[in-house]
Structure formats: C-alpha cells, structure tokens
C-alpha cells in the first residue's frame, strides 16, 4: 500500500489531496482528474471571471430568464433549501452587501446608510426565481448578484469526491484551503481521518479533534479578511438579514454527508451563533470573562483534550496521513 499526495491552486486557495492504495500511478491519475474537476468548476462558479456561468447570470438575470446547465441548477436548488433551513442565515445573494462593505477589494469600509439600504434591497433569496421545468433563473430586482463563496468550495470538494469514487478510490482525504474537507474511507493506519480544529487566537492548542469517515467537515471563521474602523474590527462574514458583519461567533465547525452543505451550514452558524438541529457542530463565541476570552458550544463534536489514541494537530499534511490538521 502506498500514499500519493497532490495539490492544486484553485478558488483562491490550495486544495490538497491524499490518496492511499496499491496502485500509485492509478491513484495519481484519479487524483489529477479530481483536481481538474475543481478547476473546471472554478471557471463556472467564480463571479470574478467574466466568462463564468455565475457572471452570465449576474449580468442577464434581472432582464430575462437565464438557462443554466443541470448541475448548476441543482446547486441553486440546494442553496435555496439551505437558505430556508438556516432561516436566511445562508444566502447566495450577499454580493451587493459584500460590494457595499468593500470586501471585493483589497481592504474594506463601513458603508453609508443610503449605500447599505440600497444593497439590502438587492439582497435575499426571495429575489431569485427558479423555473424547474425550463431550468432557468431570473432575478426580481435589478442589481441582484449571486456569490457562491460560502458554498462553492464545498461543492467543488463534493464533485471531486464524486470523480474519485467513480474511479474506485477507497481511501482519500481532500481539503480546500484547510477549511472544507472530505474523507473517503479510512487511512491505512487509523479508523478515521482525525482533524484538529484550532482557535486562530490560540493556535498552539486544539479545541477539538474531529474524526470523520465518508463525510465532510467545514470550518468557518470571522478572522479571515477584515478591516478596522474607529476601533472596531469588521470581518468578511455578513449577516444577510441585517446587512452587517456577524458579531456573535468567532468560529464554527460542522460535519455533514455533503461538503457543500457543511460549507453553507458552518457559515450560517457564524450568523446564528447557536447549534443547528441535525448537524454535529462546534461554535466558539466571545466571552469577556474567559481566558482566552471565549465560550465553546459543543453539539456532537467533543472538546479537547481527547482520548490518548487521538493524535495532536500537526502543522501540515505529513507522513501520518490521519494527522490532518485544521488551522486558520
């Protein structure tokens, strides 16, 4: 049995793939095809690429119904379902809000009241009309813009996993940017792929180690892109219902059978700052009385310290394939 490691830059992050099996050339070929699928999806889902399907929808859908290919239409339906399940905390139409807060540029700024009001009028999945019979999408308001940033990476992981499974791969681990990942089967030397979840403010000690096997884990945090104004730090994760950056949670982790679902739900948990029924999750909330100042809500994901047979986090994918870390 051997191990093959592959990596590819896509969707503004590094995707890393570990495959295990007897035929290493075959594993490498299957892995390369899975990574090419991620690249193909980036070309379709990126709102920053003028020729992408999403750019075409954003440009035309306020004027006419736009036909979309079957898989993208299914993703739109899944996104609408997740929007409803999360009481609107997950929303594909955050594009105008992201633009208003300056998160599509290099920095950011606090929008004026008029600018924010206009952006909120263009936000909401009720403005997205899906015609299942004709497989079309149309916007009910000018200026609506889809942004797959909170689900696209997970969807790409799911589709890459589909490619691997169709090729017959039985042991593999794939992550995108260390934030969304999927485990196929189990590694050669352990019963599961174990992922350390780390509070970015206290990176030396994990808050939990999550064991996954034939399922996905996604972790979202507000500590990514941010800016400071008048002494307040504003993160890039927005509450689409209020039109403002989230304030109630610092980090959220979710386990699901689907990486796309886990991706969307972990984002929604930052908005709600409370567990969502039906999903194993962990949420870190600020707590001024703690040291470090945090409060951890566990819902099916056990806290650290772990039993002795759980390995500690590592700085990167390494020779011990089950020691797959998560860090922000």
What is the predicted pLDDT for the residue at 312?
35
Q: What is the pLDDT of residue 207?
A: 87
Q: How many domains does the chain have?
A: 1
Q: What pLDDT is attached to residue 230?
A: 86
Length in residues, the chain: 328
pLDDT value for 320: 26
Q: Give the pLDDT of residue 288.
A: 64
CA–CA dist 36, 34 (Å, integer):
5
Give me the pLDDT at residue 323, please: 29
- pLDDT by residue (tens digit) across 204-234? 778 899 999 999 999 999 877 788 888 888 8
pTM of the model: 0.90
pLDDT value, residue 289: 53
- Going by the DSSP 8-state scheme, the letter that residue 281 receives in this structure is E
Maximum distance among all Cα pairs of the chain, rounded to whole angstroms: 62
Q: What is the per-residue pLDDT for 315?
A: 28
How remote is the C-alpha of 309 from its chain's centroid?
A: 29
Q: Is there a domain that residue 175 lies in? A: no
Is 99 domain-assigned? yes
**Within a domain: residue 133?**
yes
| Residue range(s) defining the domain that contains residue 116 | 56-139
Report DSSP state, residue 94. Answer: -
Rounded CA separation 320/49 (Å): 38
**Regions of the chain where pLDDT drops below 70:** 288-293, 303-328
Burial 253-286 (b: 16+ CB within 10 A, else e): bbbbebbbbbbbbbbbbbbbbebbeebbbbbbbe
Between the CA of residue 81 and those of 54, 75, 86, 105, 158, what are the distances in Å? 19, 10, 9, 30, 17
Per-residue pLDDT reduced to its tens digit, 252-280:
999 999 999 999 999 999 999 888 889 99
In the chain, which ranges are E strands?
2-10, 13-21, 66-67, 128-131, 136-139, 172-176, 180-184, 193-198, 206-212, 215-221, 226-229, 232-235, 238-239, 244-245, 251-256, 280-286, 294-299, 323-325
Whether residue 19 contacts residue 30, with contact meaning beta carbons closer than 8 Å, is answered with yes
| CATH assignment at residue 61 | 1.10.3980.10
In a domain? residue 48: no
Tell me which DSSP letter residue 300 carries. Answer: B
* Residue 304: per-residue pLDDT: 57
Q: Which stretches of the chain are DSSP H helices?
A: 24-45, 53-60, 70-85, 95-100, 113-121, 152-167, 259-272
Under 8 Å between Cβ of 7 and 14 = yes
Q: Is residue 123 part of a domain?
A: yes
| 203 in any annotated domain | no
Answer whether residue 305 is part of any domain. Answer: no
Distance of CA 307 to the CA centre of its chain: 28
* Residue 176 located in a structural domain: no
What three-state secondary structure class fits 76? helix
Separation between Cα atoms, residue 107 and residue 36, nearest integer Å: 31
Counting other chains too, the contacts that 274-279 makes at CB distance below 8 Å and 24 or more residues apart are 275/299, 276/85, 276/86, 279/254, 279/255
Q: Tell me, what's the pLDDT at 309?
A: 39
């Amino acid at each position: 049995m051997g191990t093959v490691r592959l990596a590819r830059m896509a969707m503004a992050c590094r995707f890393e793939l570990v495959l295990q099996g007897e035929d290493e050339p075959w594993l490498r070929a299957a892995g390369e095809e899975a990574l090419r699928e991620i690249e193909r999806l980036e070309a379709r889902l990126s709102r920053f690429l003028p020729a992408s399907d999403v750019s075409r929808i954003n440009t035309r859908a306020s004027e006419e119904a736009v036909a979309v290919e079957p898989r993208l239409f299914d993703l739109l339906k899944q996104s609408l379902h997740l929007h409803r399940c999360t009481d609107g905390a997950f929303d594909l139409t955050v594009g105008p809000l992201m633009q208003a807060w300056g998160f599509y540029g290099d920095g950011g700024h606090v929008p004026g009241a008029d600018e924010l009001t206009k952006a909120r009028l263009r936000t909401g999945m009720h403005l997205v009309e899906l015609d299942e019979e004709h497989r079309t999408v149309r916007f009910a308001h000018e200026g609506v813009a889809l942004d797959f940033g909170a689900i696209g990476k997970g969807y790409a992981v799911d589709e890459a996993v589909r490619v691997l499974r169709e090729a017959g791969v039985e042991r593999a681990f794939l992550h995108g940017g260390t934030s969304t990942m999927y485990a196929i089967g189990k590694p050669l030397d352990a019963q599961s792929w174990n992922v350390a979840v780390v509070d970015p403010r206290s990176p030396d000690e994990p808050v939990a180690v999550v064991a996954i096997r034939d399922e996905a884990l996604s972790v979202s945090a507000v500590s990514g892109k941010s800016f400071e104004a008048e002494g307040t730090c504003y993160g890039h994760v927005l509450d689409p219902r209020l039109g403002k950056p989230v304030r109630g949670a610092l980090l959220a982790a979710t386990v699901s059978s689907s990486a796309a679902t886990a991706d969307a739900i972990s984002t929604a948990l930052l908005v709600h700052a409370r567990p969502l029924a039906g999903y194993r999750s962990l949420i870190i909330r600020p707590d001024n009385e703690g040291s470090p100042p945090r409060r951890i809500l566990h819902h099916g994901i056990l806290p650290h310290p772990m039993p002795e047979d759980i390995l500690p986090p590592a700085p990167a994918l390494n020779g011990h394939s089950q020691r797959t870390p998560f860090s922000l």
